[in-house]
Amino acid sequence: MPGKYVSDSYQITPGKRILIAGGGGFIGSHLSKRLMEEDKYYTVVADWADNIYYDVDTYCSEFHKFDLRDQFLSDLATEGCEEVFDLAADMGGMGFIESNHSLILQNSLRINLNLLASAVKHGVKLFFFSSSACVYPDFKQHGIDGDGGEIFTPNLKEEDAWPADVRSNAYGFEKLVAEEACKWAAHDSTVLEVRVARFHNIFGPMGTWKGGREKAPAAFCRKVLCNETTFPMWGDGLQTRSFLIVDECVEGVIRLMRSTCSEPTNIGSDHLISMNDMATMIMEFEGRTLEREHIPGPQGVRGRNSDNTNIKEWLGWAPTPGAEALREGLRRTYTWIKEKLELELSEGIDNRADYSGSVIFQGKADDDGETVRSGKV
């Protein structure tokens, strides 16, 4: 299927200067590395923190340790770039999101509005914004129907975002506001075009796996590796999500940017799994059997899944469906985290007791985006 918005006119131009804001982070670094290696673009990364897993020259052409909450630095990073990929945000997993609403809203909104203003100022032609499935209405994700009380998970289509109802988390609210800012910036400009992707739980190697900002797949892998008898889990484990390996996320972003699709577009797997079943899947990698310990903690919405109907029609492509794709991605993530743990042990560092649970961070970000830990759960 060719795809409704697939463009034949997009030309890959080696040496094209592009900005990847937030490129020191997980998705941004994978994206920059691929664009630099495969398309030979000149990738400029601007981030308030260094990437701790890649050497700079292996994933980008130029790195600037910039706090993009500063409009001057945003302008400086954007100048001379034909395209901007905005993946910059103050974010993490549910433990971080549920404990830092104000911090997330203020920091991320400043960054995203600054980058849009810089793009308009410098005549950027194409602007990508990394939104999130968290923009979808709370009332569509509560997981209980109104009649029999059965648990269900809706497949969320792009048009479901409106009428808006994002009262449960400032992260999703900020993303929706920034989506609108992108739309109207393009509307008012004679030059700028925008592309918006709504990510659904991206995971994989070379990402955060400890410390409080990690997401469920990495946290689950770490807990399986660091516990002997029990597996602590927030909630009853019946919460449901879909998860997408980072390589396919990057593929989706690139295809979206090379299309003519200006509509917000889901980029996520449509394979649903409960937290209980994901824990079991990870335990099976090395034949481990841990008793689940269901404890109080942040859980987010009850259920969420990506509806990939539109991306198939619009781009003629969608992420690989099915449980096997998730299993393979989790296995890769598990193996990578295991290597990191073994490296620490070889250096005489044994943090397995600290890594056996989850940490909630809360506080004001400093110049490097770090936060103050409030406690372990």
Catalogue the active-site residues: 171
**8 A C-beta contact, residue 336 and residue 203:** no
Q: In angstroms, how far is CA 152 from the centroid of its own chain?
A: 24
* Termini Cα distance of the chain: 48
Residue whose entry in the numeric block shows the structure tokens 């499935």: 133
Nearest to 277 by CA among 225, 355, 217, 209: 217
Categorise residue 68: left if φ over 0, alpha if ψ from -120 to 50, beta otherwise: alpha
Which segments of 236-347 does DSSP mark as H helices, in order?
A: 246-257, 275-283, 309-315, 323-346
Both tokens assigned to 66: 């910039």
Q: In angstroms, how far is CA 326 from the centroid of its own chain?
A: 16
Q: How far apart are CA 258 and CA 265, in angstroms?
A: 13
Residues in the chain: 377
- Can the peptide bond before residue 163 be classed as cis, meaning omega within 30 degrees of 0? yes
Q: How far apart are CA 120 and CA 17, in angstroms?
A: 16
Q: How many CB atoms lie within 10 A of CB 335?
A: 12
Q: How far apart are CA 155 and CA 304, in angstroms?
A: 7
Both tokens assigned to 47: 């981030």
Helix (H) or strand (E) holding 181: helix 170-188
Helix (H, G, I), strand (E, B) or coil at 7: coil
Nearest to 128 by CA among 78, 179, 196: 196
Q: How far apart are CA 317 and CA 46, in angstroms?
A: 30
